[in-house]
Structure 1
């Protein structure tokens, strides 16, 4: 379905345009830059609708990193971000209940298009008050709350403004400082580093093991034959071994054949 309009850009240009806009809008802004959308649209047309190539073009474009706080978090994204920031041990049923409490219950989208990804659908005053109320209850459940100043540095970094930092420093308790950090305007939005996409850490080099492990060698037949475990031997194995073993009389007659009776 994606490759058909991509191979015919002259007749189906609006389709590719809408697809590129749907790819860019959830990650950049409600009204993304036209140059960024055009780049993603061009990559879709060149690759025949390859979504991976389109997403790489989106990440590598400098316009995607100019406005780091341009996208409002959805309720589900806000809950997940708050749990990751605080490390709260919230069980899965409580997490799913939080999605529904903030207006985005799990697996119940209002239409086949899914949930809206624009700020107008989630920025109502009542919705923001629900987020603050839930964040306060989450901060009250923390048995070992983190330092709110360190929380701001780790989660927002340079994106936290001076007003938010002053409010967190003047909080009467640690839990209220965590609440102020979660309820800050910067935390309500998706934060991205203005310097560009983060680079993955360098993975340490590990030498590759030659050959298969010993347990796999026996199964594959490249090593010693596999022996049956004594506990798995059948019941008749001992009887067969006893029949093969020569008796005392047979051993005596074999040692002294002259004593045989005709």
Structure 2
């Protein structure tokens, strides 16, 4: 990025390092289509391909979407936020816009090359039904839309859910503000240097380092070049299956 980044150092329960950068994709609107899946409870949207679990408990709720192959980018776009509005259909469009977070994948169906809107190279959003019905009439089924990437506004801090076993640690990183889509994670135990983690699937990141009994710190980077450093955000008495809130988020 251009040399206008600024560093801000904040010490509380965690230490954060912010680098200023531009909004992802600016304000450019692009054309796509949208459908919906599931009923009005949106229960079918849980446990998606991004690795998130209960979207209500994790703060995403109904404001979620599955992405077609062209947008999903092998899971790297998980957590990104999109502003969407129905476009160019007076019969089916409703006024207004929605902002949703990418939490799932809309798989292609190559047996129907002309009948599956999630086949590449199409850009498509498969929304929860409540979100779809805010921008279009239910009977439409599928509508043309315009969309743009927007910064994610999340309540609370970046959260880390630790899973795995003493020999293999899997960390789900979620509730990420700003660009939203995590592109790199590093972990540090109180007795180690920084360790590079690798993406397992979605926004689950893994390491084989043995870190049980150590307090944990994280460096989380997003696609717009920003990085948050959270020092000792996880206490040494941490347990598998627990979620740890960093208390702070990307601006």
TM-score category, normalised to shorter length: under 0.3
Higher share of residues assigned helix: 1
Please give the TM-score of this superposition, normalised by the length of structure 2. Answer: 0.27
The higher radius of gyration belongs to 1
Higher share of residues assigned strand: 2
Please give the TM-score of this superposition, normalised by the length of structure 1. Answer: 0.26
